[in-house]
């Protein structure tokens, strides 16, 4: 596996690939890699001749300094996982911003809701750093995980709106045996918080089961999910039922229907976790044993 710290060296490698007629898939990450990332790499290997993974904890997408400082980092472990995955190259820049950086990419229509409400500037940072990565690596394909649904939708919209010559693909969320969505942030949970965090997939599964049981409203679903998370000791950021295409929130009195997305952000201790399901097709209610 090639390792690049400088964008110029990466650009030369990329140019050589193109001369050889090879396509490139990019998997942008912030490191602390897990099986979810490996599944993105495996998918990327099906989509292009060569796979590049980037690891960069992007400071501009953190709106709290201590969240950035405490973001999990595991360069040695990451390197080993990447070598074993068969990925072709790693881009691990020291910084991606030059002094005086003053240009930003924004998708306001998708950035103002869900995570954007309590993380102002987050999606501007994400869209900007991903644009920079696209500019540097010029991949034909880029892969993002569905756990970060808002991010994936926003980046898909950004690439289409700005005529970026890259296919943005969203791959399914990978889950632990108890249903918890894989996330680098799970490493920061204490054993007790890790147990409590399993209330997220159970609450999502409960919502699926309620919907399957008959007619219900958005408010009934979000109230039940909120109660379940709070009972498990979570501090809620949001529990929202939204349309998958534009993340528009469904009013509480409106019917909850299959095809809507149930999205959650909740804190367990200081660790903020997110998850979502496309109602009616997640299969979570069948995959997880319901609480007695
Ligand atoms: O999902 C992430 O890990 C990050 O938001 C991304 C896409 C690598 C941009 O920094």
Q: Is the distance from the beta carbon of residue 61 to the nearest atom of ligand 1 less than 6 Å?
A: yes
Report pLDDT digits (tens) over 22-47: 999 999 999 999 999 999 999 999 99
Report pLDDT digits (tens) over 103-120: 999 999 999 999 999 999
Nearest atom, ligand 1, residue 126 CA: 9
Q: Is the distance from the beta carbon of residue 126 to the nearest atom of ligand 1 less than 6 Å?
A: yes
128 Cα to the center of ligand 1, angstroms = 11
Active site residue 37: yes
89, 2 Cβ separation under 8 angstroms = yes
Q: Is the distance from the beta carbon of residue 96 to the nearest atom of ligand 1 less than 6 Å?
A: no
Report pLDDT digits (tens) over 134-154: 999 999 999 999 999 999 999
Residue nearest to atom 5 of ligand 1 (CA): 126
Per-residue pLDDT band for 289 (boundaries 50, 70, 90) equals low
Question: Mean pLDDT over all residues of the chain?
Answer: 96
Nearest to 178 by CA among 147, 161, 156, 201: 201
30, 57 Cβ separation under 8 angstroms = yes
Tell me the average pLDDT across 230-252.
98
- Write down the catalytic residue from 5, 34, 37, 101: 37
Tell me the average pLDDT across 222-231.
98
Tell me the average pLDDT across 41-55.
98
pLDDT at position 292 over 70? no
Radius of gyration for the alpha carbons in the chain, expressed in angstroms and rounded:
19
58 Cα to the center of ligand 1, angstroms = 8
Q: Is the distance from the beta carbon of residue 29 to the nearest atom of ligand 1 less than 6 Å?
A: yes
182, 36 Cβ separation under 8 angstroms = yes
Strands 141-145 and 89-91: unpaired
Q: Both tokens of residue 227?
A: 């109660």
Tell me the average pLDDT across 241-268.
97
pLDDT at position 210 over 90? yes
**Alpha carbons 63 and 49: distance in angstroms, whole number:** 37
Q: Is the distance from the beta carbon of residue 39 to the nearest atom of ligand 1 less than 6 Å?
A: no
Nearest atom, ligand 1, residue 29 CA: 8
Percent of the chain beyond pLDDT 70?
99
């Amino acid at each position: 596996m090639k390792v690049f710290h400088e964008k110029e060296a990466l650009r030369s490698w990329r140019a050589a690939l193109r001369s050889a007629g090879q396509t490139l898939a990019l998997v942008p990450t912030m490191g602390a890699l897990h099986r979810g990332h490996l599944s993105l790499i495996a998918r990327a290997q099906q989509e292009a001749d060569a796979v590049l993974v980037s690891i960069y904890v992007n400071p501009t997408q953190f709106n709290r300094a201590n969240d950035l400082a405490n973001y999990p980092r595991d360069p040695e472990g990451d390197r080993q996982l990447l070598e074993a995955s068969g990925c072709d190259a790693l881009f691990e820049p020291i910084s991606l911003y030059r002094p005086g950086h003053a240009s930003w990419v924004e998708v306001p229509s998708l950035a103002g809701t869900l995570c954007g409400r309590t993380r102002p500037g987050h999606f501007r940072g994400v869209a900007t750093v991903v644009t920079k990565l696209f500019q540097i690596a010029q991949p034909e394909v880029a892969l993002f995980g569905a756990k970060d649904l808002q991010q994936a939708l926003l980046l898909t919209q950004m690439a289409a709106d700005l005529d970026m010559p890259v296919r943005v693909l969203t791959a399914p969320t990978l889950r632990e045996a108890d249903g918890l969505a894989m996330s680098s942030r799970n490493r920061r949970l204490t054993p007790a918080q890790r147990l409590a965090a399993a209330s997220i997939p159970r609450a999502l599964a409960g919502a699926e089961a309620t919907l399957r049981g008959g007619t219900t409203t958005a408010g009934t679903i979000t109230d039940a999910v909120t109660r379940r998370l709070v009972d498990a000791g979570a501090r809620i950021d949001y529990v929202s039922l939204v349309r998958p295409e534009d993340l528009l929130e469904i009013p509480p009195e409106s019917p909850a229907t299959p095809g809507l997305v149930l999205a959650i952000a909740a804190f367990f201790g200081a660790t903020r976790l997110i998850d979502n399901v496309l109602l009616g097709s997640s299969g979570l209610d069948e995959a997880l044993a319901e609480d007695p």
